[in-house]
């Protein structure tokens, strides 16, 4: 995907030009499976509402994203939607946006300054503690509270990665799940290839485990690839991800993925556009707008097959 994509979305005949807003979306990495779904959702919601939308893709480069956000703020859109790469960028982004009087709606990744957001800013996200809880408790149930697990995490600077991991580890430290030992804990940066490589290293080193718990589906799929190369019977290992992406759901229907948690990209994208339009129109929105997670298992996968990220 190109670094900068500009879409001019014209009003329908029935719409009134006064309601049209100029929006900008700074996305962390549009090639990431989940964030690609988020981009589509934001595009769809903006188009449906007759808004003009510009999208900047930082391709997972924090420095590049900061430059893109500076350019967005300098262009003075009616509002900007920001999916941060690094949570700690929030304070600086908020300071710049406030000085320029540009409303900001953070989406998906919670900024570190969440407790001090200015009046014209909001966060649209899912509660990451909920994702970790749903995932951890389901893995515990499948293992009957006993076994050995390895964890594949997102980048340590990402709030979702830190929170999901910490919650799972806490669940495994308490009854009835404290019979599950976490043997390894490594970051694979949300990437399938890196998760494949890390799992390969564990297998070659002779690490044996009953579960692979990944902060997202893409990393879970990487672990599955490595396990299959080593002819591991997938029925003997619990594989858990988060996001319920299209590829993740396919893996579940094939019998390879045992647990995932729907992070509703469509819901997040729509809610972020709606919040941006309201703030730009002078309306007040809650500082936090929550889109719930949902547990997805082989038992209920049919309910989610129509929802792709």
pLDDT, tens digit, 9 for 90 and up, residues 97-121? 999 999 999 999 999 999 999 999 9
159 pLDDT band, cuts 50/70/90, is confident
pLDDT of residue 305: 83
Q: Is 164 helix (H, G, I), strand (E, B) or coil?
A: helix
State yes or no: pLDDT of 287 exceeds 90.
yes
pLDDT of residue 14: 32
Mark whether 41 and 136 lie in a shared domain.
Answer: no
State yes or no: pLDDT of 289 exceeds 50.
yes
State yes or no: pLDDT of 8 exceeds 60.
no
State yes or no: pLDDT of 16 exceeds 60.
no
pLDDT of residue 121: 98
Q: Please, which contacts does 39-45 make with residues 24 or more away whose CB atoms are closer than 8 Å?
A: 39/269, 40/265, 40/269, 41/265, 41/266, 41/267, 41/268, 41/269, 41/270, 42/81, 42/107, 42/269, 42/272, 42/273, 43/7, 43/269, 44/266, 44/269, 44/270, 45/269, 45/270, 45/272, 45/273, 45/274
Q: Say which residue, 11 or 190, is predicted with more confidence.
A: 190
State yes or no: pLDDT of 40 exceeds 70.
yes
Span 193-218, pLDDT tens digits: 999 999 999 999 999 999 999 999 99
Residue 298 belongs to some domain of the structure = no
Q: If you average pLDDT over every residue of the chain, what do you get?
A: 92
Mark whether 115 and 204 lie in a shared domain.
Answer: no
Residue 297 belongs to some domain of the structure = no
295 DSSP β-pair partners: 261
**How does DSSP classify residue 301?**
G
Question: Which CATH number goes with the domain that contains 240?
Answer: 3.40.50.2300
Share of the chain above pLDDT 70, in %: 93
306 pLDDT band, cuts 50/70/90, is low
Q: Is 286 helix (H, G, I), strand (E, B) or coil?
A: coil
Structural domain containing residue 66: 4-126+266-290
pLDDT of residue 33: 87
State yes or no: pLDDT of 309 exceeds 70.
no
Residue 78 belongs to some domain of the structure = yes
State yes or no: pLDDT of 59 exceeds 70.
yes
Residue 300 belongs to some domain of the structure = no
Instruction: Give the up-direction half-sphere exposure of residue 178: CA atoms within 13 A in the CB hemisphere.
Output: 5
Mark whether 82 and 135 lie in a shared domain.
Answer: no
Residue 305 belongs to some domain of the structure = no
State yes or no: pLDDT of 4 exceeds 50.
no
End-to-end CA gap in the chain: 17
State yes or no: pLDDT of 13 exceeds 80.
no
Span 130-156, pLDDT tens digits: 999 999 999 999 999 999 999 999 998
Span 19-33, pLDDT tens digits: 689 999 999 999 998
Q: What is the pTM of this model?
A: 0.80
Residue 134 belongs to some domain of the structure = yes
Q: What is the rounded average pLDDT of the residues 246-266?
A: 96
Residue 65 belongs to some domain of the structure = yes
Residue 195 belongs to some domain of the structure = yes
Mark whether 139 and 250 lie in a shared domain.
Answer: yes
Mark whether 17 and 140 lie in a shared domain.
Answer: no
Domain count, the chain: 2
């Amino acid at each position: 995907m190109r670094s900068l994509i500009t879409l001019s979305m014209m009003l329908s005949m029935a719409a009134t030009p006064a309601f049209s807003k100029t929006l900008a979306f700074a996305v962390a990495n549009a090639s990431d499976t989940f964030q690609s779904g988020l981009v589509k959702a934001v595009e769809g919601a903006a188009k449906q509402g007759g808004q003009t939308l510009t999208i900047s893709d930082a391709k997972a480069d924090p420095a590049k994203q900061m430059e893109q956000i500076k350019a967005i703020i300098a262009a003075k859109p009616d509002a900007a939607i920001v999916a941060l790469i690094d949570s700690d960028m929030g304070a600086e982004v908020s300071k710049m946006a406030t000085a320029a009087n540009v409303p900001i709606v953070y989406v998906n990744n919670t900024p570190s300054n969440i407790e001090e957001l200015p009046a014209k800013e909001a966060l649209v996200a899912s509660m990451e503690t909920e994702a970790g809880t749903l995932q951890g408790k389901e893995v515990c149930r499948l293992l009957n509270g006993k076994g050995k697990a390895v964890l594949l995490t997102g980048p340590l600077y990402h709030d979702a990665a830190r929170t999901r991991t910490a919650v799972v580890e806490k669940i495994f430290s308490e009854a009835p799940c404290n019979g599950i030992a976490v043997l390894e804990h490594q970051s694979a940066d949300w990437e399938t290839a890196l998760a494949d490589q890390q799992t390969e290293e564990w297998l070659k080193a002779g690490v044996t485990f009953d579960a692979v718990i990944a902060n997202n589906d893409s990393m879970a799929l990487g672990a599955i690839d490595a396990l299959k190369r080593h002819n591991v019977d997938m029925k003997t290992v619990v594989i858990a991800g988060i996001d319920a992406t299209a590829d993740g759901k396919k893996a579940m229907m094939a019998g390879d993925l045992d647990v995932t948690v729907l992070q509703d990209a469509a819901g997040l994208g729509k809610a972020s556009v709606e919040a941006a339009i309201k703030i730009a129109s002078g309306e007040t929105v809650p500082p936090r707008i929550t889109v719930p997670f949902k547990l997805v298992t082989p038992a209920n996968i049919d309910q989610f097959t129509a929802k792709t990220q």
